[in-house]
Amino acid sequence: MHFHQKAKIIQELKRITFNQVRNPLNSLEKLPLFDSTRACSVTLTVFTPTKRRSDPDNLQPTLKAIMDGFTESGLWSDDNHEVVKFTKYQYGGLSGTKAYRLEVDIEEV
């Protein structure tokens, strides 16, 4: 993939993530929700359009862009190891559509 195309995808993932956090319909507490005194874990679940095998490690660039969007939105103070204790990638089954579907779960640890 050409680096310009990759950069556009990364920016779009960050924008979507930022807008989800900053959506006025969300009932989020005062931001940041997580910092070094209130750490969290992040799980990325991918739902694929086909039964074709996939490599979970290939999700790392996608999750990194999403996590950067969370950082830019103020959801957490930083995405370093003191705030985000661990990340996990997992397969969630078929998406039921012709597209991938992603779910991000953030839990306090």
Over the stretch 4-17, which tens digit does the pLDDT of each residue have?
888 898 899 999 99
Domain residue limits, the chain: 40-109
Q: What tens digit of pLDDT does each residue of 68-105 get? A: 999 999 999 999 999 999 999 999 999 999 999 999 99
According to the model, what pLDDT value does residue 102 have?
92
User: Do residues 60 and 89 make contact, with C-beta atoms less than 8 angstroms apart?
Assistant: yes
According to the model, what pLDDT value does residue 108 have?
94
How does strand 84-94 pair with strand 40-48? parallel
Which run of H or of E encompasses 12? Answer: helix 3-22
Q: What tens digit of pLDDT does each residue of 36-76 get? A: 999 999 999 999 999 998 887 788 888 899 999 999 999 99
